[in-house]
Each structure stands twice: as structure tokens, then as C-alpha cells.
Amino acid sequence: MRPSPFILFIFLLSLWACSSNREPLHTVSSPTLEKGESYFNINNDSAFYYFNLVATSATDSLEIAMAYTYMGIIQAHEGDHYGGQESLLKSLTYLDERKKGDQECLSSNYHELGNICLNLKNYETAINYYQKALTFITQGIDSSIAINSIALTYQKKGDFDQAIQLYKSMLTKAERTKKEYARALSNYARTRWLKDSTYPAGTEMREALKIRSDSNDIWGLNASYAHLSDYYTLILPDSALYFAMKRYEITRELNSPDDEVEALSKLITLSPTDRLKPYFIRYQHLTDSIQTAKNTAKNQFALIRYEAAKNKADNLQLQQDNTQKKTQLIVQRFILALTILVFLASGIILTLRNRKRRQQLQFESQQAIKENQLKISQKVHDVVANGLYRIMNELDYKTSMDKEELVDKIEVLYEQSRDISYEAPSSNIPFQEKLDDLLMSFASDRIKVIIVGNGRLLWSRINQQKAHEVEHILLELMINMKKHSQADSVTIKFEYQNGQILIHYTDNGIGISPQVKYGNGLRNTGNRIKRINGQYTFEHPAKGLKIHISFPTDRSI
């Protein structure tokens, strides 16, 4: 088949939101693929069904690759990041970098893989994918989008100088395109402000806002309002509240639940206490709906693939049966009628057994899906709904509430709900390697992380539950260090003594005063240590902080 030009798929993240609409592809001439495209952006389930038919039945490699690309983007858009990643990597196996006709599909795959890694906070991997996408891009507009994605990743990673340098180059190239210029200008100003909180970014952000307003760039306005609300939060709270309200209004117009949830979270942080309740109610409704929709979509994609695989297996079985029957008919011309009757009886028994087996497999699959849906729904209800109910109850019956305490509770609920959304399958990675990856992920050019004594033998005598708690205890300590300690050196030492595992945490930051009231993170850490029958002590040296944790093993080493 002769491929037409292939337009780059772009999903820019709503956190920095320049746009989030998706454009269909000009693809090869395939009726089934075109049928899937007709449902793209309208009915993802139907679109995924037809793309899956192409992926499992087509013979043209580019056609199969594009089908997997569509499937991966739909899965990622619906929150199934790992499923989307799998589909996009599958698409790459059908593409040849030396073929010019495959190169635009390659750039699309690599860019979307970068978006997924950015969502999963794998920043270095995201940058590598974006740079690979650039090598296959020929159009100037697509190049600017990819460069903007790289700059946004550097910004999220905290490498502001790299991001600023890229935005400067984009501002020069985008002068003749208002939409691109406004996007680069707003992101440039935000990055300068993130690097230096005294930088007067408001003027440039407002200039970008005016360009977007004049050109009726709705998605661009959404981003500008978010940037301006963040910028004015500390210096002009009233202005921050105004822009947060403007963003909330435009997200309702865009019908973008994810952006609306972010706008509501900002309004809850900035609004007076007596105006919070309706925002809480809307926030609860949206988070429940979003989680339910995403989890339903994940299961539906799995079911569509299962049904397609089952139908393909049935067709193969039917073809095999037909071939076998034809061969046997030639032989049976010379065989007595009794032999024919025996064969028919055997065929009937085989068919019945296959049918019964298929029904059993289908039933088991549906039961597994239902159990998974119930489990996730219960998690969403327990974590988000109950937590919001308690906060609203306190707002109803308390005469006043400390705003920092309220924001702290909201942040905890938000992180817990995101944990449910990004829940990944368990892996077989050795525990000591998981701890190394976790702890070293906090290392940077500014922060040095030293790990001592983290060996396989040390962890071989604790059960999976304890390992889970230890992982989250260390995660809480490192997050607290990253947010509050201002440390540039952290040492975590592990050792075994008399049936106990000892963990010694040391940093050279500003420390914690003995009179400070611990926040939710450290309180959660204390509760986790108690759950594994452990103990902990804090030392407050002249500089920095030392924490000693001990807990019993399940078996002696």
C-alpha cells in the first residue's frame, strides 16, 4: 500500500498545558484503519477495537505500526500509561529507520513515549525519547513542539538553565507565529520565575495572555491562567485567586475534567474558608468520575484484546478443522461408512470440549476484570471520598480552621489519588536494587546520596509486607529531605545486629527543631515503623539531622 504523509501525534501535559486536543493521522489507504480514525476523539472504545483488528490481521508493516501507535496514544490518554507504552514499543518493531516512509511514524512514537515517561516522572528517559523524535522530524512546527517538550521536561526536572536556553531559541524562531511565540514566552517566563522567585515574570506572562486572548487560543488561555495564578500566589493572593477562577471557568468551557480538577485544587488553596464547600463537592465528584472512567477504560481495552485474540484463535481452529476435514474426506472415500461415523462422533466431542473450554476462559477473564474493578473502586472510595468527607465535616462544624493544615490535608489526598491512578504491576526486581533506584533518584548535581550496607543478604529474612513498609519509610524520609532540609549530602546506612535491621539516616541540612510539630509525612513514617514493630529516634546535632530506625527480622541471618 502507498502511505500518505504522517502527521505527528502530540499530547502536551495539562500541568503546563499548551494544548491537549488530538489530531487524526493521514494514513495508508486501509478501510479498517480509516474506520478506526472515524471514531478517533469520538468513541475511544470503538476506535481501539478497529485499530486492534488492523494490528492483528493486516499484512502491511506500516499499517500495523500505525494501528499500534493509535492504540498506544488512546491508552495513554485514558490513563493506562504502561499499556500505552507497550503498544508504542510494539509499533517500533514494525518500523525501519532507513525507510523514509516510516520516519514520521517513528517520530510520533518516540514523542508519545517521551510524554508517557514524563507523566511517570522518568525525566532522563523522556528527554532521550524526545531527542530521538527530533531526528526523524522534517517539519518546522513539529520540531518546535518536540523542543518545547524537551524544555518542559528540563523544567519539571529542575534543570532550569537548560530549559531557559531552549526557550530563548524558540522565542527567536517563533516570532512569526503568534501561537508558538505566546507558548514559548509564557513557559520562558515561568521557568525564569521558578529558578528565581524575584524575577518579574508577570509582564511577560500577561503579554502571552493577551496574544492568546486576541487569537482565541482557548488551550493557551488555560495555560496562561495557570501560570499567572501560580506566580501571584505569594505576592498578590487576590490576583492569584482571580486567575484561578478564570482558569476554572475556561476548563468548564473546554470540558476537560483533569484540568478542572487542577483548577479546583488551586481554588481550594486560595479561597476563603467559607467558600470552600462547593469546590470540595465538585472536586470529590470529578476525582471519583475520572478514576472510575480511567479504570473502566483500562479494563475495556484488555477485554477488547482478549475478544480479538479469542476470535482469531477460533478462526485458526476453524481453518485447521477445514483442512483436516478435506484431507480426511479424500481418504474416507475408500473407507467404510462406519469409519465415517466414528470420525464425525469424534469431531462433535472435540467441538463440544473446545466450546466448554472457551466458555470457561471467558468466564474466568470476566471474573478477574470484575474483581479488579471492585478493588480499585474500593480504593478510590476509601482514600478520596472518605478523606474529603472528613474535611468537609470539619469545615461544617469547626468555627475556624488553620489554612496551612487544610492545604496539607488536601495535598495528602491528592497524592494518594495519584498513587491509585499510576499504580503499576509488581516486578521481580531484587529489593536491594529497588532501594538503590529509589534512594539514588533523589541524587542530583546539588545533592549527594551515599548508600552503605544495602545487600541482598540483609533483606533476605524479611517478608514482602515489611519490605513494602521499609520502601515507603525511606521514600517519606527522602521527600522530607528534598522539600525542607536544604541538605547537599545524605547518607543512609543499613546493618544487621542481634536479630534487628538498623537504618541510620544522616543529612547536613538545617535540621528539625525538637519543638517542631511534625507534618503528615513524618507522622505517616512513624506509623509505618510501628506497623513493623520497629522503633525510631531523632538526633538534633548542631547541623543536620540523624534518624535511627530499628525493627526485627522474620528470621535470623
Report pLDDT digits (tens) over 261-286.
898 998 999 989 888 888 888 888 88
d(CA 94, CA 313): 22
Q: Check which CATH number belongs to the domain holding 32 and give it.
A: 1.25.40.10
Residue 323's pLDDT band (cuts 50, 70, 90): low
Is 24 a residue whose pLDDT tops 60?
no
Residue 245's pLDDT band (cuts 50, 70, 90): very high
Are 396 and 435 members of one domain? no
Does some domain include residue 488? Answer: yes
- pLDDT tens track for 206-220: 999 999 999 999 999
d(CA 455, CA 430): 10
* H or E element in which residue 494 lies: strand 489-497
Are 18 and 149 members of one domain? yes
Joined grid coordinates for residue 10:
502530540
In one-letter notation, the amino acid at residue 149 is S
Does some domain include residue 31? Answer: yes
Top pLDDT among 20 and 415 is at 415
Residue 11 pLDDT = 35
Does some domain include residue 217? Answer: no
Does some domain include residue 297? Answer: yes
498-511 per-residue burial string, b: 16 or more CB within 10 A, e: under 16: eeebbbbbbbbbeb
Residue 416's pLDDT band (cuts 50, 70, 90): low
Among 30, 11, 46, which Cα is nearest to 304's?
46
Are 105 and 56 members of one domain? yes
Are 371 and 470 members of one domain? no
The whole-chain average pLDDT of the chain stands at: 80
Are 12 and 70 members of one domain? yes
Residue 37 pLDDT = 80
Calculate the CA 330 to chain-centre distance. Answer: 59
Does some domain include residue 247? Answer: no
CA distances to 38, 62, 95, 426 from 27, in Å:
12, 9, 15, 37
In one-letter notation, the amino acid at residue 239 is S
- pLDDT tens track for 65-117: 888 999 899 888 888 888 899 999 999 999 998 888 888 889 989 999 999 99
pLDDT, mean of residues 32-51? 82
Joined grid coordinates for residue 537:
529516634
Residue 7 pLDDT = 34
Residue 505 pLDDT = 95
In one-letter notation, the amino acid at residue 210 is K
Question: Which one-letter DSSP state was computed for residue 274?
Answer: G
pLDDT, mean of residues 387-393? 59
Number of Cβ within a 10 Å radius of residue 373: 15
Are 382 and 473 members of one domain? no
Which of 382, 402, 422 is a domain's end point?
402
Are 435 and 537 members of one domain? yes
Q: Check which CATH number belongs to the domain holding 435 and give it.
A: 3.30.565.10
Residue 329's pLDDT band (cuts 50, 70, 90): confident
Top pLDDT among 429 and 289 is at 429
- Residue span of the structural domain in which 313 resides: 290-402
Are 385 and 475 members of one domain? no
Are 396 and 441 members of one domain? no
Which of 157, 180, 213 is a domain's end point?
157
Are 343 and 435 members of one domain? no
In one-letter notation, the amino acid at residue 275 is R
In one-letter notation, the amino acid at residue 8 is L
pLDDT, mean of residues 123-128? 94
Count of domains observed in the chain: 3
pLDDT, mean of residues 488-507? 94
d(CA 428, CA 430): 6
Which of 157, 184, 212 is a domain's end point?
157
State whether residue 341 is helix, strand or coil: helix
Are 305 and 386 members of one domain? yes
Look at the block and give the residue holding cell 478493588: 375
521 touches 479 (CB < 8 A)? yes
Does some domain include residue 1? Answer: yes
Residue 436 pLDDT = 92
Are 372 and 451 members of one domain? no
Strands 500-507 and 545-552: antiparallel
**How long a stretch of residues is the chain?**
557
Is 556 a residue whose pLDDT tops 70?
no
247 touches 225 (CB < 8 A)? yes
Number of Cβ within a 10 Å radius of residue 98: 7
Ranges 6-20, 65-79, 110-124, 521-535: which has the least confidence: 6-20
d(CA 360, CA 346): 21
187 touches 155 (CB < 8 A)? yes
Does some domain include residue 200? Answer: no
Strand order in the sheet with 448-452: 448-452, 489-497, 500-507, 545-552, 535-539
Cα Rg of the chain (Å, integer):
28
Residue 308's pLDDT band (cuts 50, 70, 90): low
Does some domain include residue 162? Answer: no
